[in-house]
Amino acid sequence: MFTVLLAIGILLLLALIFGAILGYANVRFHVEGDPIVEQIDAILPQTQCGQCGHPGCRPYAEAIANGEAINHCPPGGQATIQALADLLDVEAIPLDGDHGTETAIKVAVIREDECIGCTKCIQACPVDAILGAAKQMHTVIADECTGCDLCVEPCPVDCIDMVEVGVTAKTWSWDKPQGIAASSINIIATDRQTEVSH
């Protein structure tokens, strides 16, 4: 009887000790898990364009966290959908055409001599990328413009154009090689060599 009690006692003691250690570790090494909304929000392109039907990227991130489809973000395009699919471990689906199509990166440009200085675009810009004052000409800070399109609609004189951001020598990048498929006709190099010699 005593042995049994002793065994139980020891086990109890061990349980208490380890319980205490675990409890301490839980408090001491508590990791604040990165909330999923933050992670989703980090993937979204932050254009704040509202094409997804939400007032900004964060609300859409919250909606995705609550189960909304991941393919409602045209500015992010397929790359964003892929990243979201990887993060959420769901299937990458094609972009939902109802919300718009993936287009090249654009910036808003105000035709400055037509601007009447109504400040409506300034109020519409979600990232404060338009500079100007009432009855003064406005202009877009191109570096800050996310190309969200929201300033075009309110302009009473339609003097805002969405212009594609061209590739400069600084932003240019090498093309991806065409790969094996493109050159599969000439798969035997000696064939080509013969051609050359002619």
Partner 1 sequence: MQAPQVFSFHGGIHPAQNKAQSLQLPLGRPSLPSELILPLGQHIGQSSRSISKVGDRVLKGEIIAINNGFLSSYLHAPTSGTITAIEERFIAHPSGLSDLCIVLSPDGKEEWTTLNPLNTWQTDAPEDVLAHLAKMGIVGMGGAGFPTQVKLQGATKSPLTHFIINAAECEPYITADDILIREKTLELVKGIEIFQHLVNAENVVIGIEDNKPIAIAALNTLLNERGSQIQVAVVPTKYPSGGEKQLIQLITGKEVPSGQYPADIGILCQNVGTCVAVHDAILLGKPLISRITTLTGDALKSPQNVEVLLGTPVTHLLDYADSQEKKLHRLIMGGPMMGYTLDSAAVPIVKTSNCILAATKKELPTPAPEQACIRCGMCEQACPASLLPQQLLWFSKSQELDKAEHYNLFDCIECGACSYVCPSSIPLVQYYRHTKSSIRETREANVKSDLAKQRFEARKARQDAEAAEKEAKRIARQQASAAKTASAKTAPSTGATPPVTTQPTAAPISDEAKKLKIDIAIAKTKLKKRQKELLTAQEAEHLEEISSLQLQVTEQETKLASLEKEFSKIPVANTAPTAVTETSTAVAKAPVSDELKKAKVDVALVGVKIKKLTKQLDETPDNQEIKDKISSLEIDLIAAKAMVEKLTSTSISAPVTAIQKTPISNELKKAKVDVALIGVKIKKLTKQLEETPDDQETKDKIAAFETDLIAAKTAVEKLSAAPSEATPSNHTAEPKAVITDELKKLKIDTAIAKASVKKVEKALKKAEEIQAPEVDAIRQQLKEAQQRADDLEKALANPDALQLQPQSKENTEKAAAPINADADKKHKIDLAIAKAGIKKAEKNILLLKEQGKDEAEIIASEWPAKLIEAQAKLENLESQPSPEAQLKANIETQALSKTTEKATENADIQADLAAQIKKQKIASALAKAQINKLAKRLESTPEEADSIQQEIDATRIKQQDAETLLAQLIQSKDKQENH
159 appears as a binding residue in the annotation: no
Number of Cα atoms under 13 Å in the Cβ half of residue 1:
0
Q: Is 114 in the site for partner 1 (CB under 8 A)?
A: no
Q: Does residue 183 interact with partner 1 by CB under 8 A?
A: yes
Judged by CB under 8 A, the stretch of 14-22, 23-31, 132-140, 170-178 that binds partner 1 is: 170-178
Stretch that binds partner 1, among 13-21, 111-119, 126-134, 154-162 (CB under 8 A): 126-134
131-150 residues in contact with partner 1 (CB under 8 A) are 144, 146
Contacts of 68 (CB under 8 A, 6+ apart): 60
CA–CA distances in Å: residue 178 to residues 94, 104, 184: 24, 22, 11
**Candidate ranges 90-98, 106-114, 153-161, 189-197; the one touching partner 1 (CB under 8 A):** 189-197
Burial (0-12, 13-18, 19+ Cβ within 10 Å), 190? exposed
Pick the binder of partner 1 from 51, 52, 54, 57 (CB under 8 A): 57
User: Could you give the CA distance from residue 108 to residue 150 in angstroms, rounded to a whole number?
Assistant: 9
Task: Assess 56 for contact with partner 1 (CB under 8 A).
Answer: yes
Min dist CB 125 to partner 1, Å, is 8
Query: Does residue 109 sit in helix, strand or coil?
Result: strand
Cα 93 to Cα 82: distance, rounded to the nearest angstrom = 8
List of residues contacting partner 1 (CB under 8 A): 41, 44-48, 56-57, 126-129, 144, 146, 167-170, 172-180, 182-184, 186-187, 189, 192, 196
